[in-house]
Amino acid sequence: MTAAPARGQRPIRVGNSSGFYGDRATAMADMARAGGIDVLTGDYLAEVTMLILGKARAKDPTKGYAATFLPHLDAALEHLVANRIRLVVNAGGLNPGGLADATRDLIARHGHELRVSHVDGDDVFGRLDALQQAGHPLTHLTSGEPLTSWPDQPLTANAYLGGFGIARALDNGADIVITGRVADASLVVGAAAWWWSWTPHDYDALAGAVCAGHVIECGAQATGGNFSGFGSIADLTEPGFPIAEIARDGSSVITKNPGTGGAVTKDTVTAQLLYEIAEPAYLNPDVITHLDAATLSDLGDDHVEIHGVRGSPPPPTTKVAITGIGGWENSVVFALTGTDLDAKATLVERSVRRYAESVDGIDAVAIDRIGRAQHDPDSQDAATELVRIAVQGTEKAAGRAFSSRMVELALSSYPGLYALGPPQPGSAFGVYWPALLDQSMLEHTVHHHDGTTEIVVPATPPDAESAVAPPAEPSLAPSASASAPCSDELVVVSLGELVHARSGDKGGDANLGVWVRDPAFEEWLQSTLTVDELRRLLPETRQLAISRYELPNLGAVNFVLRGLLGTGATSTLRLDSQAKALGEWLRSRSISVPRALVEAATGRSV
């Protein structure tokens, strides 16, 4: 391929074809075939993924990358070449050099001569001891404990890199760039920085690109997937993947290919902007992006503009995600049918607790009731609830021995007991340790297609005093200016009639973004949905520390629920291990609202 003739003359069009390791297998080929984009990105990595890749690397040092990338590329390659589309992916995982070699082999088999570069320097697994000895304790972001206090053995350790390594690779002629652990949005930031020749000090432009990257990084979530207003989205059986058109100033337009399923609306974009964030000062290795400055404009026909984003100098540190193997876990699901369901559940719980107390090696037990049987049910399924029993501990206690004990209950416990599936041996579960490391300690390295290498040095702010920490965490209470919108008669409605929500995991924490369906409710939301009210609506959160942040430009508030997921999605015994459905639980709750406000916004009498 040759350099795009329009580079720097019009907005760059960046598409996405993967939001996680396991996303739609045909997406890369579909996006490449449709054309009309300059760069196609693919996000394959998450905390859970790094653990999976770590296990693969432990078995075979030549592995450790997202193996699904190669068949994706195989199906898309001819279209990428024909439409002169560059490809940037983080599928390299723990072995970007190995995947780059495998990619070159695949390209050669197709008879092409594309230029493949890769970016590494994120993997600090082999340096953990040396870093700690050099005075970097890698303290846990929540507990403040040093890594030396962790009883588990690390399996992976990767720092989040920024996008300028990608930009340098593209600038040196790469057609395909494969990276290890870069920040998710950095795939897009790197492409935009290359296109517009941004410097590390173009903070507002970089922040705008972070917003665009954050919106499209999770694929079809930006086009209606996992959206609380899914009922309003046409043809959601296979939504199209998103495209960001990024201008020189960092403003962007989010869209999708015509004729594909799903939709791009202000609400689908808002949902993704609020996904897996904490404070509005969103940290990235290249810039601090102030999400509360972002403004959305619906341009119609599946085009939504993001503008007004502001950036400030990046933090001197970057996140390091360390994973390890924590122990063994197992689970079983029993059915509770008919009458006396509370007594039946209590009986089986006593049996499980007795087993856990009678053997060495069971560290944690979780017992969850799922669903509610109907009164006077007209089918057996309608008469049934589920009880899920999960345990963690040693392989000896939580493996086959636990499953065997559960099988033994079949003829000696409550009437109608049966399990949903055969007994299982269980499996090892992962543990997660988030920490910070000075960016100056990393060797962010570009391995160019021509065999040369280049170190990307972290930029220093033009004014050292301007490189300040992000704004202090706001008060957990609503802003002092918030007041009740009116004193009208109150009516009880489902919260989901008034707001949308999107939730997800952030290590052991969960984030819960909530925004109004109608601007008439903005003042009401800010004044009513306080931390105390959230605890009332979600009793599971009553003992948790909760941070609350307002994003008035989006008509939104964002909550961070500290420790809801224990030590992380890979180790929690919570049924919804990544808090994906937390927002939907909140929306199902009832709340009192002024009658006149509801009637004005919904157009119906209540």
pLDDT in tens, 499-530: 999 999 999 999 999 999 999 899 999 999 99
Is this prediction's pTM over 0.75? Answer: yes
> What percent of the chain is predicted at pLDDT more than 90?
89
Q: Band the pLDDT of 481: cuts 50, 70, 90.
A: very low
Q: What is the DSSP letter of 183?
A: -
Position 485 scores a pLDDT of: 46
Q: Helix or strand or coil: residue 206?
A: helix
Mean pLDDT score across all residues of the chain: 93
pLDDT in tens, 170-180: 999 999 999 99
Q: Which residue would you say has higher pLDDT here, 420 or 482?
A: 420
Residue 531 dihedral angles phi and psi, to the nearest 5°: -60, -45
Give the residue-averaged pLDDT of 129-150. Answer: 96
Is the model's pLDDT at 424 over the cut of 60?
yes
Position 47 scores a pLDDT of: 87
> What percent of the chain is predicted at pLDDT more than 70?
94
Position 2 scores a pLDDT of: 58
Q: With DSSP H G I counted as helix, E B as strand and the rest as coil, what are the percentages for the chain, rounded to 5?
A: 30, 25, 40
pLDDT in tens, 271-316: 999 999 999 999 999 999 999 999 999 999 999 999 999 999 999 9
Give the residue-averaged pLDDT of 520-541. Answer: 95
Position 462 scores a pLDDT of: 64
- Cα–Cα distance for residue pair 14/115, rounded to 1 Å: 19
Give the residue-averaged pLDDT of 396-401. Answer: 96
pLDDT in tens, 426-460: 999 999 999 999 999 999 999 999 999 999 998 77
Report how far apart, in Å, the C-alpha atoms of 33 and of each of 17, 72, 389 are. Answer: 12, 13, 47
Position 90 scores a pLDDT of: 98
Position 234 scores a pLDDT of: 87
Position 391 scores a pLDDT of: 97
Is the model's pLDDT at 95 over the cut of 80?
yes
Report how far apart, in Å, the C-alpha atoms of 281 and of each of 89, 152, 185 are. Answer: 26, 32, 15
Q: Band the pLDDT of 1: cuts 50, 70, 90.
A: low
Q: Decide if 139 contacts 435 (C-beta within 8 A).
A: yes
Cα angle, residue 506 at apex, residues 495 and 478 outer, rounded to 5° = 45
Is the model's pLDDT at 63 over the cut of 80?
yes
Report how far apart, in Å, the C-alpha atoms of 370 and of each of 169, 406, 458 are. Answer: 50, 18, 49
Is the model's pLDDT at 472 over the cut of 50?
no
> Which residues share a beta bridge with 336?
385
For the chain, the first-to-last Cα distance in angstroms comes to 62
Position 337 scores a pLDDT of: 98
Within its chain, how far is the Cα of 391 from the centroid? Answer: 26
**Of 102, 38, 95, which Cα lies nearest the Cα of 72?**
102
Position 460 scores a pLDDT of: 74
